[in-house]
């Protein structure tokens, strides 16, 4: 994932690290670490990188301080890529849950249980009636539509 305002690129790896590379000279800016590898593509908001790990955690890494901002624990490995929508981070887990997490502090906003694990990225749209619509694909080819008022 390209971080335009800092001219960096974040590259997750199965070795448990997210490598952040300076695109001007190719040097390593920083390597964030987790207990297990990363399968998904991270999401970026401002100076923060969000990504789920095979260690069952969702991480928020701070690009300026080069520290882990917060960690949110799920009950399953996280293969799905996260999606940021305003103050919310949406991400599915192998525990069959869709998590909506506050991007500022890592607190749970909502958790929705599905019949099967979620390994793909969800999509969020806003209707003309100001309703948030979340589309959730599951591992067994089911597609759910959640409408939030």
Q: Is the pLDDT of residue 149 over 70?
A: no
The mean pLDDT value for 14-40 works out to 96
pLDDT > 70 in the chain, percent = 99
Which segment of 71-75, 78-82, 131-135 scores lowest on mean pLDDT? 131-135
CB 33 within 8 Å of CB 71: no
Total residues found in the chain within this entry:
149
Distance CA 11, CA 28 (A): 11
- 3-class SS of residue 46: coil
136 pLDDT exceeds 80? yes
pTM of the prediction?
Answer: 0.92
Q: What pLDDT shows up at residue 22?
A: 96
Whether the per-residue pLDDT at 71 is higher than 70: the answer is yes
Per the CB < 8 A criterion, the answer to whether 87 and 104 are in contact is yes
């Amino acid at each position: 994932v390209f971080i335009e305002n800092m001219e960096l690129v974040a590259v997750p790896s199965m070795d448990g690290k997210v490598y952040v590379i300076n695109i001007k000279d190719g040097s390593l800016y920083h390597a964030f670490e987790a207990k297990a590898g990363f399968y998904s593509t991270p999401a970026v908001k401002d100076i923060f990188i969000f990504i789920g790990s095979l260690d069952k955690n969702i991480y928020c890494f701070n690009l300026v301080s080069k520290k882990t901002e917060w960690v949110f624990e799920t009950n399953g490995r996280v293969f799905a890529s996260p999606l940021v929508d305003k103050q919310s981070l949406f991400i599915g887990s192998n525990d069959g849950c869709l998590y909506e997490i506050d991007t500022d502090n890592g607190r749970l906003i909502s958790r929705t249980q599905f019949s099967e694990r979620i390994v793909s990225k969800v999509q969020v749209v806003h209707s003309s009636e100001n309703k948030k619509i979340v589309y959730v694909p599951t591992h067994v080819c089911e597609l759910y539509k959640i409408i939030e008022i």
